[in-house]
């Protein structure tokens, strides 16, 4: 792409130029040469039979429906599938750029084997048969030596059914280690785990909420399921459409999302919990909360006496005692009036939702903050109501393949009995590999994720990988992880393979998208699921029998059939039909357009998928899996943890008997270390989030629109701060943290909090396409020491210094 | 005779820039490489422009998706020495690439800087050329290009309608940017038709025409952000 | 007392030296030629390079779509006012001192015009489609008005240069040195007869009257290229006269410089006397004042209007990015010339020439600070991008300058740069005419003593 006049062109041109110069005056010849030179390369585009087919975007967890135009063998345009319940014909820029991914000149086009060393690889092309044989041999050997459990499969975004395939494969093979890349909802989900006892399915009925406070979740920059979120945003403000819902963004940075919100509350970073509890204070003191709901469905709001007769502090007392407005205002640096007003509005407009509670949803945040935020929902009775926080039910066939279940499998490599959560987060993987405990990792497969790039401590993992005897990547680009592998088995691109997607994060309704490949393979790549199937078959035995299907289509079909068992839901349909179906279902009727599995399958393929447009509220038993079978302001899971690990808790300087420990509360904030005065907060930009868009020119070109930046990462700083350090707009600066330093261009932006700087995520790849290898990766600067209690990296506590180059 | 127009609701717009990419993909607008971009040579028929006011924490930012506004009194076409740009009877400000001599007078006359110039031969490296939309010609170097209101889509819609011999129906002709907008913040239609959505919105209280004081009479109308109406429940 | 010029230089008496440049060529001429042609080919190469790779090789960008090419265009067209306009005005009001300088002036016009037009062509993205201007003209476009007025101007001033040349060409023909065939061709059988003289003088004075409005129109229209847009600080009614004044201003300056060089190189002190410089200097001074007046008025009005879009351009010039250029312009266009010219005693030839150089620089900056700042600050939000001309633009600009000077030199090698016959005519008729004129307006000319004149007569 780069337009460089290298010396050769230049010389050639000089010659030509001279000739032209000589000629042009006299001969027609010369003139035509000139014209040729001017008009050179005017291009016309191919033609052929036209067709439109459906597909699903998997460039983020959003799971939007695509409509793809093909001319002959070529896909020439991606558009939205109007029938798709998630996206209704809309797409985000990333999804639109899908074609650039498909036809990307730097795609991995054939299996590669690393014949060099891990540290400096040399790649040799191998045939698929050869490649698969190698994988099989390795896995077989492991299995034979009873080491099957030492196989780790790292999976990123991929559809529900493909996940089932992986799980089933691993279970049959004998490994509990299907690990997942972090995603945006992790922090909130952890809170839900502690307060509702549920892991997955957290959803928000954004469409119908009337008042929304977002604590740092960047709704419009790709939060959750970006398109459906943006759609909801549009609905709130629909011209003439009833009363406009209010959207309050709590964020130290005036992010593009904050700019589009109805109100932006600039708070001191890391004090979300305090602010949330401050709001709770107002709700309680002014009696604005939903007393009935609290009474009926929650635990630990009032002080309470346990079985052994000990009194415990409840949420109310905690808030009233420790979160008086003035203290909160002082801590959060949000004016009392603001807190008061917002709290009253929040209490006065139902349904009202509070979401987020993290630093950056991509980077693990403190669950206690998320708990504080989620508690607001409980106070307002915004759980399990239209416009509130919901828990998406499961699709028939989901639970039978929960990881960790099934026959005698050893515990997963990330399970810790001294951890609050059943599994510690992925940043611990490198440590596990190095320490070989609980057991060594003999083989590691990565699919659809690039942990070496995207984990806060990715570099560490990169090193650690050296000690893993066998590493395979299914990446479709030479990413940081793939570059450290022994084998790369490039996956097909979305449009080349069967696509399927589950309900995206935060989407309340059960949904399953399915679509056949849109075009033939462009290169010698293969659908990873297909590869797994062949491996399973080759491994034989129970592995083979657990996956009898020989093709991906076969497998998907078999899984899709299970939907029928649920006896509910419909294939995608027009808005009109949907409202009608909802009506029927509410009154207990179910009149699907299909009756047999074949019809269901046909219709799913034609319309893009199946979904259950009705949500059944108030299934308390399903959504409260806590020991109290209620929503717990006072998390008994934490209580139980504290009793289990008393000395460990004491070691952290906490009192296991202190009730605060189990209640949402504001943790103390770190102070800037000597010589590192500025707080670094990485932010996401919609186009590049997750890092994968970086190689796509379309996205690089728009990534920094709010500061007119493109193709490079930039450091956002408040002009006042800059003045303080004698820096100017566009300066080349070093940003240095305890971990290292990086060179980047400074952009002054009034939206940045004084004393804070922001670096966009998604930049700074070191491998693969030259278009992706631009800018710096903020995670390389970030503080990753695990916070003792949650064992999550303290990403929000990175301090830096910035100085001119 | 319809007068095609667009309404963009800034209250609904999330500034996601899907419209920007949709336009690029639909109209084979080349991506310029980093070096060129750094020189400010990006070609974009539609861009989301930030307008930031105030100081932290009292800042306001309008993020405005700005296509060619298809002015009824377009300063750009008056100045073209060769009539390479003009306005169709239906009000679309067109650009005739094969006639343009690249003097860039129009680009300077457009008060909205909505016109782009092909500084070099458009470059679609490697296989990317395969993703080109066959309905739209790739512009040669040295000419000016701009939003055509996806004119090719109008032509196709007309053919379609003629084939099914029926009149052009509402929604037959929708530009790529409007079609993709995830927040449904863009509306498109016939401003002549008094009961079309666009003409209704174009009259609404929030409607404004950007830099209207210049007398350009844009046919792309914006709806201002508006405010939360309050609304205590009791 | 009529005497037909004979074919012998000595008959020209002292004026023979005017033929020197044509008959004898010093080696220095060839050296200079090499140098200038060097620049010329550099610019040709640069242009071919631009043709091949597109305007991307310039420093232009969004939104600065125009740069020094357009600046050159305005500047060169401005210079072109040197000749025709000045000489025409002087002719019409019978300024006797004009006789020896008119041609030096007129030549500038004709030659420089080509570079004005050239600059536009160089700026085109698709010069190969230049003909479209004729095939699909759009007469609402000020650019097309330019095309018309400039071509008319070119024709008119060529004729206006040519007419007074005829008698001198005849001299060269009769003198019968090199290229006699050429001179014979161009002399149109000039015999210098009474009749021919009368026709010629008539034609010249008609043209003189004609070219003035044309010249004025040309630069007015050039200004309208900017004035007719709605862009901040372009959209201004003052631009017409402002540009014309600026044009004449730079015209005079370049004329002064040209004369200074010629008199130096060809030892024509006798023809370009200090008094000529002094007169032109005064003229320059007058225009410096005019220029300042316009510039002041223009900016003050903008400032008072306080229209945001205009203001940001205004401040970018007075205090912002373009301040250095702007204030250099003020100094070079006004402070320096005013300082050097305001009083007769310091208005030496040297100072006049210095002032002229300074004015040329200043006027170039003026054109630049008119074209670029406005473009850099559009009404809609945009990033601050910087425009710096690349080697291509600079080479082409230098090439244009060099080629212009070269062609001018070349002219002096083929034709007398001082109108021989007009000078001679001056000696014969000037006094009489002057006397008649004075008598015409003096009350009772016979009553008083106009004798001094009489005596001077013979
Ligand atoms: N197009 C596209 N969409 C995507 C993705 C994609 O790859 N492409 N990825 C999806 C994925 S995987 C994810 S994880 C989501 C992530 O998308 P989001 O959930 O929106 O994550 P962020 O954009 O990082 O939101 C973090 C915001 O919190 C603010 N913040 C930082 N520190 C603090 C703090 O201390 N307090 C408060 N209150 N705010 C703070 C930051 O300024 C930033 O604005 O997006 C999803 N959507
Ligand atoms: N630097 C950085 N780190 C981040 C983030 C960030 O924005 N920047 N975001 C955080 C967030 S929100 C998340 S969710 C995680 C996500 O982080 P990851 O899950 O690692 O997502 P990506 O970094 O986009 O890496 C996805 C990789 O999958 C490969 N890939 C792309 N398409 C396909 C395909 O169709 N099939 C297969 N098999 N592989 C494919 C590509 O090589 C790409 O490198 O990262 C977190 N960490
Ligand atoms: S939101 Fe996610 S899934 Fe939807 S289009 Fe964008 S990238 Fe694709
Ligand atoms: S696509 Fe819609 S929401 Fe996104 S920027 Fe364009 S107009 Fe705004
Ligand atoms: S917006 Fe600019 S380009 Fe579009 S019509 Fe108006 S003046 Fe012309
Ligand atoms: S650039 Fe092309 S369209 Fe614009 S004015 Fe010149 S010729 Fe006309
Ligand atoms: S109307 Fe068509 S051409 Fe114009 S901006 Fe939208 S997509 Fe681009
Ligand atoms: Mo994520």
Rounded to an integer, the average pLDDT of B54-63 is: 94
C144: distance to nearest CA of chain B, Å? 5
Of A77, A87, A103, which has the smallest distance from its Cβ to B128's Cβ?
A103
Are residues A77 and A99 in contact, defined by beta-carbon separation less than 8 angstroms?
A: yes
Each residue of A621-644: pLDDT tens digit?
Answer: 999 999 999 999 999 999 999 988
How far apart are alpha carbons A692 and A587 in whole angstroms?
45
pLDDT band of residue C449 (cuts 50, 70, 90) is low
Q: Which atom of ligand 6 is nearest to the CA of B101?
A: 7
pLDDT band of residue A37 (cuts 50, 70, 90) is very low
Rounded to an integer, the average pLDDT of C401-405 is: 95
How far apart are alpha carbons A119 and A471 in whole angstroms?
13
String of b and e for A333-342 (b: at least 16 CB within 10 Å)? ebeeebbbeb
Rounded to an integer, the average pLDDT of C298-323 is: 94
- Segment holding A123, helix H or strand E: strand A123-125
Q: What pLDDT score was predicted for residue B121?
A: 80
How far apart are alpha carbons B41 and A58 in whole angstroms?
32
Phi-psi region of A740 (alpha: psi -120 to 50; beta: other; left: phi over 0): left
Residue with tokens 């129970």: A542
Each residue of A143-159: pLDDT tens digit?
Answer: 999 999 999 999 987 88
Distance, CA B145 to ligand 2 centroid (Å)? Answer: 36
**Closest CA relative to residue B48, chosen from B95, B14, B81, B2:** B14
**Closest CA relative to residue C12, chosen from C433, C427, C413, C457:** C427
Are residues A573 and A612 in contact, defined by beta-carbon separation less than 8 angstroms?
A: no
Residues 102-121 of B with CB under 8 A from A: 120-121
Each residue of A56-71: pLDDT tens digit?
Answer: 999 988 999 999 999 8
What do you get for the CA distance between the two ends of chain A, in Å? 29
pLDDT band of residue A20 (cuts 50, 70, 90) is very low
Query: What is the CB neighbour count within 10 angstroms for residue A124?
Result: 11
Higher pLDDT, A140 or A361: A140
Rounded to an integer, the average pLDDT of A76-90 is: 94
B48 pLDDT higher than 80: yes
| B156 reaches A (C-beta below 8 A) | no
Identify the residue whose C-alpha is closest to ligand 2 atom 19. A449
Are residues A506 and A150 in contact, defined by beta-carbon separation less than 8 angstroms?
A: no
Distances from the Cα of A265 to the Cα of A211, A388, C219, C324, angstroms? 15, 22, 58, 43
A678 pLDDT higher than 60: yes
**Closest CA relative to residue A112, chosen from A94, A93, A139, A131:** A131
Tokens read off for B34 = 């980093």
Q: What is the DSSP letter of A68?
A: E
A21: distance to nearest CA of chain C, Å? 7
Each residue of A432-468: pLDDT tens digit?
Answer: 999 998 999 999 999 999 999 999 889 999 999 999 9
Distances from the Cα of B124 to the Cα of A5, A97, A687, B19, C304, angstroms? 17, 14, 20, 20, 50
Rounded to an integer, the average pLDDT of A471-499 is: 95
**Closest CA relative to residue C301, chosen from C351, C352, C366, C233:** C233
**Closest CA relative to residue A104, chosen from B18, B37, B136, B131:** B131
How far apart are alpha carbons A735 and C373 in whole angstroms?
34
| B205 reaches A (C-beta below 8 A) | no
| B52 reaches A (C-beta below 8 A) | yes
Does any ligand 4 atom lie closer than 6 A to the CB of residue B23? no
Crossing angle of helices C239-266 and C194-227, rounded to 10°: 130
Q: What pLDDT score was predicted for residue A45?
A: 57
| A609 reaches B (C-beta below 8 A) | no
pLDDT band of residue A29 (cuts 50, 70, 90) is very low
Are residues B151 and B141 in contact, defined by beta-carbon separation less than 8 angstroms?
A: no
A41 pLDDT higher than 70: no
How far apart are alpha carbons A468 and C14 in whole angstroms?
103
Whether A105 sits inside 8 A of B20 (CB atoms) is no
Tokens read off for A44 = 């016309």
Identify the residue whose C-alpha is closest to ligand 4 atom 8. B13
How far apart are alpha carbons B59 and B45 in whole angstroms?
28
Residues 44-103 of A with CB under 8 A from B: 44-47, 71, 74-80, 87, 89-93, 95-97, 99-100, 102-103
Q: What DSSP letter does each residue of B71-137 carry, written as one string? A: -SS-HHHHH-TT--EEE-TTS-EEE-TTT-----HHHHH-TT--EEE--S----TGGGGGG--TTSP
pLDDT band of residue B124 (cuts 50, 70, 90) is confident
Whether B31 sits inside 8 A of A774 (CB atoms) is no
State whether the Cα torsion C176-C180-C181-C183 is positive or negative.
negative
C7 pLDDT higher than 70: no
Are residues A106 and A694 in contact, defined by beta-carbon separation less than 8 angstroms?
A: no
Rounded to an integer, the average pLDDT of C363-371 is: 96
pLDDT band of residue A403 (cuts 50, 70, 90) is very low
How far apart are alpha carbons A63 and C147 in whole angstroms?
58
| B20 reaches A (C-beta below 8 A) | yes
A82-86, A155-159, A512-516: segment of lowest average pLDDT: A155-159
Residue with tokens 């040579």: B41
Q: What is the DSSP letter of C380?
A: S
Of B17, B47, B56, which has the smallest distance from its Cβ to A750's Cβ?
B56
Radius of gyration of chain C (CA): 24
Name A566's bridge partners. Answer: none
Q: What pLDDT score was predicted for residue A34?
A: 43
Q: What pLDDT score was predicted for residue B210?
A: 96
Are residues A220 and A257 in contact, defined by beta-carbon separation less than 8 angstroms?
A: yes
Tokens read off for A209 = 């909420």
- Segment holding B10, helix H or strand E: none
B116 pLDDT higher than 90: yes
Q: What percent of chain C has pLDDT over 90?
A: 69
Task: Give CA angle at A335 (A330, A338), nearest 5°.
Answer: 140
Of B39, B66, B109, which has the smallest distance from its Cβ to C61's Cβ?
B39
Q: What pLDDT score was predicted for residue A364?
A: 65
Reported residue count of chain B is: 234
pTM exceeds 0.95 for this model: no
Neighboring chains of C (3 or more beta-carbon pairs < 8 A): A, B
Tokens read off for B174 = 């929708």
Tokens read off for A675 = 């010589």
How far apart are alpha carbons A366 and A242 in whole angstroms?
37
Radius of gyration of chain B (CA): 19
How far apart are alpha carbons B14 and C9 in whole angstroms?
86
Of B20, B132, B228, which has the smallest distance from its Cβ to A93's Cβ?
B20
C46: distance to nearest CA of chain A, Å? 9
What do you get for the CA distance between the two ends of chain B, in Å? 51
Q: What is the DSSP letter of A212?
A: E
User: Is the bond leading into B190 cis (omega within 30 degrees of zero)?
Assistant: no
Q: What pLDDT score was predicted for residue A791?
A: 80
Q: What pLDDT score was predicted for residue A31?
A: 41
Task: Tell me the pLDDT of chain C averaged across its residues.
Answer: 89
How far apart are alpha carbons C90 and C104 in whole angstroms?
13
Q: Which atom of ligand 5 is nearest to the CA of B93?
A: 5
Task: Tell me the pLDDT of chain A averaged across its residues.
Answer: 88
Q: What pLDDT score was predicted for residue C447?
A: 65
Each residue of C47-91: pLDDT tens digit?
Answer: 999 999 999 999 999 999 999 999 999 999 999 987 788 888 888
Q: What pLDDT score was predicted for residue A4?
A: 39
User: Is the bond leading into A438 cis (omega within 30 degrees of zero)?
Assistant: yes
**Closest CA relative to residue A52, chosen from A15, A78, A17:** A78
Q: What pLDDT score was predicted for residue A3?
A: 36
B185 pLDDT higher than 80: yes
- Residue C351, classified by CB atoms within 10 Å of its CB into exposed (0-12), middle (13-18) or buried (19+), is middle
Reported residue count of chain A is: 805
Whether A1 sits inside 8 A of B31 (CB atoms) is yes
Q: What pLDDT score was predicted for residue A362?
A: 57
Query: What is the CB neighbour count within 10 angstroms for residue B61?
Result: 22
Query: What is the CB neighbour count within 10 angstroms for residue C42?
Result: 17
Whether A13 sits inside 8 A of C52 (CB atoms) is yes
Tokens read off for C422 = 């007009």
Q: List, in order, residues 6 or more apart from A783 with CB less than 8 Å away.
A: A737, A738, A739, A793, A794, A795, A797, A798, A799
**Closest CA relative to residue B191, chosen from B162, B170, B219:** B219
How far apart are alpha carbons C19 and C241 in whole angstroms?
40
B75: distance to nearest CA of chain A, Å? 26
Whether C45 sits inside 8 A of A14 (CB atoms) is yes
Q: What percent of chain A has pLDDT over 70?
A: 91
Higher pLDDT, B82 or C429: B82
pLDDT band of residue C36 (cuts 50, 70, 90) is very high
Residue with tokens 């005079």: C252
- Residue B45, classified by CB atoms within 10 Å of its CB into exposed (0-12), middle (13-18) or buried (19+), is buried
Higher pLDDT, A42 or B65: B65
Q: What is the DSSP letter of B47?
A: E
Q: What is the DSSP letter of C15?
A: G
pLDDT band of residue B187 (cuts 50, 70, 90) is very high
A112-114 and A487-488: which strand pairing?
antiparallel
Identify the residue whose C-alpha is closest to ligand 6 atom 2. B100
pLDDT band of residue C26 (cuts 50, 70, 90) is confident
How far apart are alpha carbons A770 and A762 in whole angstroms?
14
pLDDT band of residue C448 (cuts 50, 70, 90) is low
**Cα C348–chain centre separation:** 22
A28 pLDDT higher than 80: no
């Amino acid at each position: 792409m780069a337009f460089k006049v290298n010396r050769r062109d230049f010389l050639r041109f000089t010659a030509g130029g001279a000739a032209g110069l000589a000629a042009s005056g006299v001969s027609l010849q010369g003139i035509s040469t000139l014209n040729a030179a001017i008009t050179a390369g005017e291009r016309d585009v191919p033609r052929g039979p036209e067709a439109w087919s459906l597909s699903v975007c998997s460039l983020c967890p959003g799971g939007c429906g695509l409509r793809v135009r093909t001319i002959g063998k070529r896909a020439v345009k991606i558009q939205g599938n109007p029938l798709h319940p998630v996206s209704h014909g809309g797409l985000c820029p990333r999804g639109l750029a899908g074609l650039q991914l498909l036809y990307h000149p730097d795609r991995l086009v054939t299996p590669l084997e690393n014949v060099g060393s891990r540290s400096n690889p040399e790649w040799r092309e191998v045939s698929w048969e050869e490649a698969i044989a190698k994988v099989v041999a390795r896995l077989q050997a492991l299995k034979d030596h009873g080491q099957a459990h030492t196989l780790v499969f790292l999976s990123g975004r991929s559809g529900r059914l493909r996940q089932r395939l992986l799980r089933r494969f691993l279970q049959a093979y004998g490994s509990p280690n299907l690990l997942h890349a972090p995603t945006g909802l992790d922090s909130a989900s952890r809170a839900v785990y502690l307060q509702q006892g549920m892991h997955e399915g957290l959803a928000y009925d954004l469409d119908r909420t009337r008042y929304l406070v977002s604590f740092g979740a960047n709704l419009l920059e790709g939060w959750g399921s970006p398109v459906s979120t943006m759609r909801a945003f549009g609905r709130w403000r629909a011209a003439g459409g009833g009363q406009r819902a209010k959207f309050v963004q709590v964020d130290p940075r005036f992010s593009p999302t904050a700019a589009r919100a109805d109100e932006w509350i600039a708070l001191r970073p890391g004090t979300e919990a305090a602010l949330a509890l401050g709001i709770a204070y107002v709700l309680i003191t002014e009696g604005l909360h939903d007393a009935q709901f609290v009474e009926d469905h929650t635990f630990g709001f009032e002080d309470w006496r346990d079985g052994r007769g000990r009194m415990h502090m409840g949420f109310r007392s905690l808030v009233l005692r420790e979160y008086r407005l003035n203290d909160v205002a002082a801590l959060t640096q949000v004016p009392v009036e603001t807190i008061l007003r917002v709290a009253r509005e929040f209490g006065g407009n139902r349904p009202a939702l509070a979401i987020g509670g993290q630093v950056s949803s991509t980077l693990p945040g403190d669950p206690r903050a998320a708990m504080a935020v989620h508690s607001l929902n409980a106070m307002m009775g915004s759980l399990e109501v239209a416009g509130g926080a919901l828990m998406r039910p499961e699709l028939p066939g989901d639970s039978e393949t929960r990881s960790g279940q099934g026959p005698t499998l050893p515990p997963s490599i990330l399970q810790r009995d001294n951890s609050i959560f059943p599994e510690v987060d992925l940043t611990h993987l490198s440590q596990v590999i190095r320490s070989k405990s609980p057991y060594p990792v003999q083989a590691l497969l990565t699919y659809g994720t690039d942990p070496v790039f995207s984990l806060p401590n990715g570099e560490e993992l990169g090193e650690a990988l050296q000690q893993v005897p066998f590493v395979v990547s299914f990446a479709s680009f030479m990413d940081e992880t793939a570059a450290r592998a022994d084998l790369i088995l490039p996956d097909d691109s979305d449009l080349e393979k069967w696509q399927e997607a589950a309900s995206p994060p935060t989407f309340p309704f059960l949904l399953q998208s399915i679509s056949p490949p849109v075009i033939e393979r462009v290169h010698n790549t293969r659908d990873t699921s297909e590869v797994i199937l062949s491996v399973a078959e080759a491994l034989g035995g129970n592995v083979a029998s657990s996956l009898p299907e020989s093709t991906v289509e076969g497998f998907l079909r078999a899984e899709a059939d299970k939907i029928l068992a649920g006896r509910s839901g419909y294939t995608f349909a027009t808005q009109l039909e949907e409202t009608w179906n909802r009506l029927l279902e509410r009154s207990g009727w179910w009149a699907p357009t299909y009756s047999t599995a074949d019809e269901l399958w046909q219709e799913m393929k034609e319309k893009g998928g199946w979904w259950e447009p009705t949500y059944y509220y108030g299934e308390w038993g399903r959504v409260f899996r806590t020991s109290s079978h209620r929503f717990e302001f006072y998390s008994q899971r934490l209580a139980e943890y504290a009793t289990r690990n008393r000395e460990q808790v004491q070691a952290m300087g906490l009192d296991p008997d202190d009730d605060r420990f189990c209640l949402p509360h504001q943790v103390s904030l770190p102070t800037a270390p000597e010589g590192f005065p500025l707080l670094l907060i990485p932010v996401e930009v919609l186009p590049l989030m997750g890092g994968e868009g970086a190689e796509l020119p379309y996205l690089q070109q728009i990534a920094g629109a709010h500061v007119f930046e493109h193709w490079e990462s930039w450091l956002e700083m408040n002009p006042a701060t800059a003045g303080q350090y004698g820096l100017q707009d566009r300066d080349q600066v070093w940003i240095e943290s305890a971990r290292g330093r990086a060179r980047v261009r400074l952009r002054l932006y009034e939206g940045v909090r004084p004393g804070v700087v922001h670096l966009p995520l998604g930049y700074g790849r070191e491998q693969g396409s030259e278009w992706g290898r631009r800018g710096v990766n903020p995670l390389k600067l970030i503080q990753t020491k695990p916070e003792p209690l949650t064992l999550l990296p303290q990403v929000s506590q990175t301090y830096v210094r910035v100085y001119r180059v | 005779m319809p007068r095609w127009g667009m309404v963009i609701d800034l209250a609904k717009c999330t500034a996601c820039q899907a419209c920007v990419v949709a336009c690029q993909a639909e109209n084979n607008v080349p991506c310029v490489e980093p070096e060129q971009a750094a020189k400010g040579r990006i070609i974009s028929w539609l861009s989301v422009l930030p307008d930031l006011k105030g100081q932290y924490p009292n800042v306001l930012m309008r993020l405005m998706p700005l296509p060619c506004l298809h002015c009824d009194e377009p300063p750009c076409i008056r100045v073209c020495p060769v009539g390479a740009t003009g306005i169709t009877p239906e009000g679309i400000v067109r650009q005739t690439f094969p006639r343009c001599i690249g003097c860039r007078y129009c680009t300077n006359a457009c008060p909205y800087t909505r016109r782009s110039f092909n500084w070099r031969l458009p470059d679609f490296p490697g296989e990317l050329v395969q993703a080109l939309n066959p309905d739209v010609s790739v512009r040669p170097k040295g000419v000016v290009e701009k939003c055509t209101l996806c004119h090719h889509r109008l032509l196709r819609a007309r053919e379609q309608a003629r084939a099914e011999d029926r009149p052009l129906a509402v929604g037959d002709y929708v530009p790529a940017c409007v079609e993709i907008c995830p927040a449904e913040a863009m509306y498109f239609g016939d401003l002549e038709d008094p009961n079309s959505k666009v003409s209704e919105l174009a009259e609404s209280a929030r409607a404004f025409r950007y830099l209207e004081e210049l007398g350009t009479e844009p046919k792309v109308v914006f709806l201002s952000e508006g405010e939360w109406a309050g609304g205590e429940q009791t | 007392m009529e005497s037909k010029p004979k074919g012998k230089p000595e008959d020209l008496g002292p004026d023979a030296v005017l033929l020197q440049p044509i008959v004898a060529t010093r080696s220095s001429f060839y050296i200079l030629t090499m140098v200038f042609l060097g620049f010329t080919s550099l610019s040709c190469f640069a242009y071919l390079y631009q043709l091949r790779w597109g305007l991307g090789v310039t420093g232009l960008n969004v939104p600065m779509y125009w740069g020094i090419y357009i600046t050159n265009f305005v500047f060169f067209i401005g210079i072109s006012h040197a000749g025709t306009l000045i000489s025409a005005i002087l002719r019409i009001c019978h300024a006797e001192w004009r006789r020896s300088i008119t041609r030096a002036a007129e030549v500038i016009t004709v030659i420089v015009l080509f570079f004005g037009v050239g600059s536009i062509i160089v700026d085109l993205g698709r010069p190969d489609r230049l003909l479209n201007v004729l095939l699909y003209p759009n007469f609402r476009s000020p650019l097309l008005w330019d095309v018309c007025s400039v071509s008319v101007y070119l024709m008119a001033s060529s004729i206006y240069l040519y007419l007074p040349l005829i008698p001198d060409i005849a001299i060269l023909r009769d003198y019968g040195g090199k290229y006699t065939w050429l001179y014979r061709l161009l002399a149109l059988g000039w015999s210098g007869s009474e009749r021919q003289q009368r026709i010629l003088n008539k034609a010249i004075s008609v043209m003189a009257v004609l070219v003035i409005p044309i010249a004025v129109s040309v630069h007015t229209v050039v200004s309208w290229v900017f004035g007719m847009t709605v862009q901040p600080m372009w959209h201004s009614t003052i631009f017409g006269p402002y540009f014309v004044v600026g044009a004449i201003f730079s015209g005079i300056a370049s004329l002064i410089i040209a004369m200074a060089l010629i008199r130096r190189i060809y030892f024509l002190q006798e023809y370009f006397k200090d008094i000529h410089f002094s007169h032109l200097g005064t003229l320059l001074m007058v225009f410096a004042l005019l220029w300042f007046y316009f510039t002041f008025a223009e900016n003050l009005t903008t400032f008072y209007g306080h229209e945001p879009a205009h203001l940001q351009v205004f401040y970018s010039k007075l205090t912002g990015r373009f301040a250095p250029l702007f204030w250099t312009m003020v100094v070079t266009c006004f402070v320096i010339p005013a300082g050097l010219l305001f009083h007769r005693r310091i208005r030496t030839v040297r100072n006049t020439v210095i002032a002229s150089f300074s004015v040329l620089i200043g006027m170039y900056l003026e054109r630049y600070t008119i074209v670029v700042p406005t473009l850099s600050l559009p009404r809609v939000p945009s990033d601050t991008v910087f425009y710096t001309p690349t080697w291509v633009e600079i080479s082409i600009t230098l090439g244009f300058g060099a080629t212009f000077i070269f062609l001018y030199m070349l002219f002096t090698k083929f034709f007398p740069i001082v109108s021989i016959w007009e000078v001679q005519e001056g000696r014969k008729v000037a006094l009489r005419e002057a006397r008649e004129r004075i008598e015409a307006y003096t009350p009772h000319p016979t009553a008083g003593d106009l004798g001094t004149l009489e005596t001077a007569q013979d």
